[in-house]
Amino acid sequence: MKLLEQIEKWAVETPDQTAFVWRDAKITYKQLKEDSDALAHWISSEYPDDRSPIMVYGHMQPEMIINFLGCVKAGHAYIPVDLSIPADRVQRIAESSGAKLLLSGAEVTVTDLPVRITSEDNLKDIFFTHKGNTPNPEHAVKGDENFYIIYTSGSTGNPKGVQITYNCLVSFTKWAVEDFNLQTGQVFLNQAPFSFDLSVMDIYPSLVTGGTLWAIDKDMIARPKDLFASLEQSDIQVWTSTPSFAEMCLMEASFSESMLPNMKTFLFCGEVLPNEVARKLIERFPKAAIMNTYGPTEATVAVTGIHVTEEVLDQYKSLPVGYCKSDCRLLIMKEDGTIAPDGEKGEIVIVGPSVSVGYLGSPELTEKVFTMIDGERAYKTGDAGYVENGLLFYNGRLDFQIKLHGYRMELEEIEHHLRACSYVEGAVVVPIKKGEKYDYLLAVVVPGEHSFEKEFKLTSAIKKELNERLPNYMIPRKFMYQSSIPMTPNGKVDRKKLLSEVTA
């Protein structure tokens, strides 16, 4: 598959087909090609001998997609940065990535960034003045060159830039289109922020099949009335989200086949799909296929998939995450480094062309989890699981990294920032489960000196500081105050004891 050529084909075959819709804004495939060509031409003229990654800042504006394609046509990887990411984190991404340029689809509120900022108005001027110019196709990202870099949570308090190459993305997109039986011209839900790699699951499968991306933003999600009004207008056929988002939608009685009569496929990734959520979806959307998938950002969105039928629901209380895509392999490694037999639990290791080339500018971190097996790239996921008859079953994290509402995070990173707060002496973050999946984060805090008379005022002050350092989804929902943190005999935090105390 020639990814960019496949997307451009629709600008010729169906130029007036809508490629992307967000509220009242939309772009056609013709506009997508013209504007991304103009942008790529401008980037190549401004940075002729440079291939550094380019930050793309915004939320769900159509310009985001134009900017992504403009970057890669000019030979630069893009780094998606959502509006919700705090200034401190944006600053660290800018510094660690070596980016020289930031393309903005929205107002940039972060000051003193070490990059050149191209505003929304600047972009409109570029689209106009460079219209009709086409970039040199030889300059476009190809092979093992980086296509995008997504920053994920890092245990040192610094986010890690996962490098996904052109070949990685082609491998994923080809598999998704074929295995999920995606058709030409379908409408895809685009709900995940672009800085979350779940968004890749709908962006490129939609664009290569001439589909329409229907974007739902965070303000709509916060106002259910607006959310369901938008869904009702959408005629979505391919739904991509975390199970949590679908579970929230299921609370609305009208969320069913009558609201979305042409729904064909549900694609779930990012966290555990509970059996009861899948069952309710089958009841509400009897003609749609429910696909459960699994994969870390480091292996390009997802590498396994299974069609969850009523038979599968009856057979497995905890659902399997699927069969591995044909060009990759799964190995289950025991602690002694040997491969576990069928049915035995161990660490999930992914081998094949979906695997990232590593973390940008972090050779030591890369060396810890990326390796070569039989001449192919391999990634040690840190996830526990087992394989039975070719089916992968996921059993949670081996370390302190978790997925909460689809967002992956390192508990140590949150603890690192908590301990840096003015009124905190010590802190441990405990993820609290509801059923099979994590429901919220609890911060157990040893407070420092403060003059607050009430605990809730202390909590508000700590949360205010955290808001400047972490995205909202990483901030603990509940706080508990103690005089000390339990320790194990070897001087480590006794997390098991702490968990039993807080859940007793």
Tokens of 241: 């989200």
197 is an annotated ligand-binding site residue: yes
Rounded to whole angstroms, the Cα distance separating 426 from 445 reads: 6
Q: How many CB atoms lie within 10 A of CB 106?
A: 16
297 is an annotated ligand-binding site residue: yes
396 is an annotated ligand-binding site residue: yes
395 is an annotated ligand-binding site residue: yes
86 is an annotated ligand-binding site residue: no
Cβ-contact 70, 39 below 8 angstroms:
yes
209 is an annotated ligand-binding site residue: no
459 is an annotated ligand-binding site residue: no
Is beta strand 187-190 parallel, antiparallel or unpaired with respect to 212-215? parallel
3 state SS of 210 = coil
Task: Characterize 250-263 residue by residue with b for buried, 16 or more Cβ atoms within 10 angstroms of its Cβ, and e for exposed.
Answer: beeeebbeebbeeb
154 is an annotated ligand-binding site residue: no
153 is an annotated ligand-binding site residue: yes
Secondary structure tally for the chain: helices H, strands E: 16, 25
493 is an annotated ligand-binding site residue: no
Among the listed residues 52, 78, 75, the one whose alpha carbon sits nearest the alpha carbon of residue 67? 78
179 is an annotated ligand-binding site residue: no
Is residue 363 packed enough to be buried (19+ CB in 10 Å), middle (13-18) or exposed (0-12)? Answer: exposed
Sequence-ordered alpha helix ranges (H) in 47-192 = 62-73, 87-97, 120-129, 166-179
Cβ-contact 461, 452 below 8 angstroms:
yes
Render 299-343 in DSSP notation, one character per residue.
GSS-SEEEE--HHHHHH-SSPP-EEEPTT-EEEEE-TTSPBPPTT
57 is an annotated ligand-binding site residue: no
397 is an annotated ligand-binding site residue: yes
Tokens of 236: 């979505």
- Phi, psi (rounded to 5 degrees) for 267: -115, 120
50 is an annotated ligand-binding site residue: no
Binding-site residue positions: 152-153, 197, 292-297, 301, 383, 394-397, 492
Binding-site residue positions for D-alanine: 197, 301, 492
Binding-site residue positions for ATP: 152-153, 292-297, 383, 394-397, 492
